[in-house]
Amino acid sequence: MLKLTRFLKKYWLPAIIAPLFMLLEVWMDLLQPKFMASIVNDGIMDGNLGAIAGTAPKMLLAALIGLLAGVGCTVFSTIASQSFGADLRQALFQKIQSLSLQSLDRFGSGSIVTRLTGDVTQIQSLVLIILRIFARDTFIIAGSLIMAFSISPRLSLILLAMLPLLVAFLVITTRITVPLFSRMQQRLDQVNTVMQENLSGIRVVKAFVRADYEEKRFNETNSNLLQASLKAAKIVALNTPLMSLILNFSIVAALWYGGVLSEQGALSVGSLAAFLTYITQLLFSTLGLGNQLMAISRAKASADRINEVLDVPADSRNNGNEAGTGKSVIREGSLSFEHVSFSYDGDLEKAVLRDIHFTVEAGETIGIVGINGAGKSTLVSLIPRFYEATKGMVRIDSRPINEIDPKELHRQIGMVLQQAHLFSGTIRDNIRYGMPDASQQEVEAAAKAAEAHHFIMKLEKGYDTVLGQRGVNLSGGQKQRLSIARTLLLQPKIVILDDCTSAVDLNTDLLIRKSLQTLMADSTCIIIGQRIASVQQADRIIVLEEGQITAIGTHGELLQQSGLYRQIALSQQGA
C-alpha cells in the first residue's frame, strides 16, 4: 500500500492539517475528565460551588474548540482522500490505455472495472479513515495512557498488561483476513464479468431464450461471492466480541484495584472517576482501531490488485529516433511479415499463427480469406501492435514496427472491425473521433464514401443525432458504415478492413469498395472478407488455413491453385 502514497504527495498540506486538527480535538476531549475530576474533588466533595462554576465554562470552551477542530479535520481529510482517489483512478485509467490487448486479456474486462471502481474506492476510504478515525483512535490511546499514568502509575499497570494481548490479537486477525478479502475481490471480478457479458449480449440471451441459464450462471458466481464474503465476515464478527471481552475485563480490574486504592486514601474519588474515563476511552479506541485494521486488511487486498495493473510495463514502448517529432514516420506504407509466429501465451507449441511470410508494396491491396478460426483477425492485429509477434518481425517501410512511435503508428493505420464500436454522442462526433477538428464538409465526404450519408440525412437530426451506448439505435450495417467513415476521414497510409461490410447488402458493399478504390488509392489496403466478392478485385489474395499461409495469388490464380479458395467461391456462387 505504501507504493500508492505517491498519489497523496500532491495533497500533503491537507493530509497534514487534518490529523493536526484531530490532535486538537482529542486534546480537548482528554481535558474533559480532568475538569470532571476537579469538579468532583474541589466542588462536590468540598461543597465549593464556586469551583464548579469556574470549571464549567472551561469544559464548554474545550467542547466548542473540539467541535470546530473535528469539522476542520473532516474538511481537510475529505479534500485529501477524494483528490487522492481521483488521481489514482486517473492514473489507473491512463495505465490501462497504455497496455496492449495481450496484457488487457490477462486481467479481463470485469476485473479491470472492479479495480478501477471498487478497489480504488476501498483505498480512497482507507485514506479518509487513516486521516480521521485511525488518527483519532491513535491519539486517544496515546493521550489516555499519558493522562492515566499522570493520575495513578500503579493503576496504569493494568493497561500495560492488557495492551500486548490486544496487539497480538490484532496482528493475528489481520494476517488471517488479508487473503480472505483478496479472494472476495476476485469473486467480485467474476460477478462483474458475468453481468457485463449478459448486458452486452442481452439480445442474444432473449433471442435464444437463455434467461434461465444466465440467471443460473449469475447465481453461481453470486453464491461464490457470498461464501467468500461470509467467510471473511465470520472472522470480522469474532473480532469485536473477543476484543470487548478483553476490554471489559480490563475495566473490571481497574474498578476493583481503583476501589482498593481509594479506600487506602491513595486515590481520590474524582481522580478514580477520571482514570476510569481515560481507561474507557483508551480501551474503546483500541476496539475501534481493531475495526479499522479490518478495513486496512481489505484495502491492502485492493492495493495489491491496483499495483498489479500499475506494475505491468507498457507494451507499446518506443525505441525509435523519430519519436515525439510530430511528423509521420510511415511515409509509404509498405508492409512485410518475416517468418512471424504468434501465441497468446508465448508458447509456440500453441501458436495460432505459424511462419507467416509475405510482403505488401505501398499502395497495394491485399485480401485475406479463410474459414473461421484460421487466424485472420489475429494476423492483422499484429500490424498496429495490439499484440506482439512471438517470433519473427513485422516491418513497415522496412522498419521494425517496435521502432516506430506508437502514436504515429496508430495515426497512420486505419482499422475497421467487423464488430463496429460506436460511442455515446452524436453521429458527427463518432465520425470525427480520430480527427476532432474535421470540418462538416470533410465529415460528409467520408460518410458519402462509406455509403452512410444517405441514411444519416433521413434521421430527424441528421449528423446531430445522438447515439445510445454502442450505437444501439442503429442497425448493424449502419454502424459498420459509420465505422468505415470514421477511418476514411483519417486518410491513413495503411487501411485494415476486418470483414467490416458483413452486415451490409451486396450492392452497398460494392459501392463502398468502389469508393475505397478512389479515396484510398495511395494507401496500402488489407481486406479480410468472408465474401469472395469483397476481395476478388485485390491485387493479391492470401489464403490462411489453421494459422498458416497455404496460397497467395490473384482471384483467377487461386481458383486454379487453392482447393479451399475454390470451395469457398463455389459455395458462395451457388448461394
428 neighbors 464 (Cβ within 8 angstroms): yes
Quote the Cα angle for 490-495-500, to 5°: 100
Residue-wise pLDDT tens digits, 534-557? 888 889 999 999 999 999 999 999
Residue 315 lies in a domain: no
- CB count, 10 Å around CB of 164? 9
Backbone angles phi, psi at 341, to 5 degrees: -125, 150
In terms of domains, do 351 and 277 share one? no
Residue 505 lies in a domain: yes
Residue 76 lies in a domain: yes
Name the residue among 333, 337, 500 with its Cα closest to residue 409.
Answer: 333
In terms of domains, do 113 and 169 share one? yes
Does pLDDT of 204 surpass 80? no
- The letter for the amino acid at 57 is P
275 neighbors 148 (Cβ within 8 angstroms): yes
Kindly state the greatest CA–CA separation across the chain.
Answer: 118
Residue 461 lies in a domain: yes
Name the residue among 86, 161, 96 with its Cα closest to residue 124.
Answer: 86
Helix, coil or strand: residue 412: coil
In terms of domains, do 239 and 137 share one? yes
Phi-psi region of 358 (alpha: psi -120 to 50; beta: other; left: phi over 0): beta
Residue 294: half-sphere exposure toward Cβ, Cα within 13 Å: 15
Q: Which of 273, 294, 310 is the last residue of a domain?
A: 310
Least confident of 23-27, 425-429, 470-474, 535-539: 470-474
Distance CA 521, CA 394 (A): 23
Q: What percent of the chain has pLDDT over 70?
A: 92
Q: Where do we find the cell 486504592?
A: 261
pTM score: 0.69
Q: What percent of the chain has pLDDT over 90?
A: 26
pLDDT at 45: 62
Mean pLDDT, residues 442-447: 92
Helix, strand, coil percentages (3-state) for the chain, rounded to 5, are 65, 10, 25
pLDDT at 317: 47
Residue 329 lies in a domain: no
In terms of domains, do 171 and 36 share one? yes
Residue 138 lies in a domain: yes
CATH of the domain at 341: 3.40.50.300
Does pLDDT of 412 surpass 60? yes
Helix, coil or strand: residue 320: coil
pLDDT at 42: 62
CA dihedral defined by 322, 328, 330, 332, rounded to 10 degrees?
-130
DSSP H helices in 39-156: 49-98, 101-107, 109-114, 120-129, 135-151
Q: What is the mean pLDDT of the chain?
A: 83
Domain that holds residue 361: 335-574
Does pLDDT of 324 surpass 70? no
- CB count, 10 Å around CB of 37? 21
Does pLDDT of 256 surpass 70? yes
C-alpha cell at 458: 433521413
Residue 404 lies in a domain: yes
C-alpha distances out from residue 519 to 344, 383, 410, 418, 445, Å: 35, 22, 19, 21, 10
Mean pLDDT, residues 49-59: 75
494-498 vs 413-416, strand pairing mode: parallel
Distance CA 104, CA 106 (A): 5
In terms of domains, do 403 and 295 share one? no
In terms of domains, do 303 and 388 share one? no
Residues 6+ apart with CB under 8 A from 305: 114, 115, 119, 182, 185
In terms of domains, do 462 and 544 share one? yes
Distance CA 402, CA 382 (A): 11
In terms of domains, do 76 and 169 share one? yes
Does pLDDT of 102 surpass 90? no
In terms of domains, do 231 and 109 share one? yes
177 neighbors 228 (Cβ within 8 angstroms): no
Mean pLDDT, residues 370-386: 88
Continuous segment of H or E residues that includes residue 163: helix 157-200
In terms of domains, do 506 and 372 share one? yes
Mean pLDDT, residues 428-453: 90
Q: Where do we find the cell 498496429?
A: 384
CATH of the domain at 136: 1.20.1560.10
Residue-wise pLDDT tens digits, 127-159? 999 999 889 988 988 888 888 888 888 877 777
Residue 156 lies in a domain: yes
pLDDT band at 48 (very low <50, low <70, confident <90, very high): low
Name the residue among 537, 316, 495 with its Cα closest to residue 406.
Answer: 316
C-alpha cell at 370: 479463410
pLDDT at 540: 94
DSSP string, 245-311: HHHHHHHHHHHHHHHHHHHTTSS-HHHHHHHHHHHHHHHHHHHHHHHHHHHHHHHHHHHHHHHHHHT
In terms of domains, do 530 and 486 share one? yes
In terms of domains, do 267 and 346 share one? no
- The letter for the amino acid at 38 is S
Total domains in the fold of the chain: 2
Highest mean pLDDT among 38-47, 324-333, 391-400: 391-400
User: In this predicted model, which residue has the larger pLDDT, 104 or 471?
Assistant: 104
User: In this predicted model, which residue has the larger pLDDT, 345 or 357?
Assistant: 357
C-alpha distances out from residue 92 to 7, 83, 101, 120, Å: 11, 14, 16, 9
389 neighbors 341 (Cβ within 8 angstroms): yes
Does pLDDT of 364 surpass 60? yes
pLDDT at 57: 85
Distance CA 412, CA 397 (A): 12
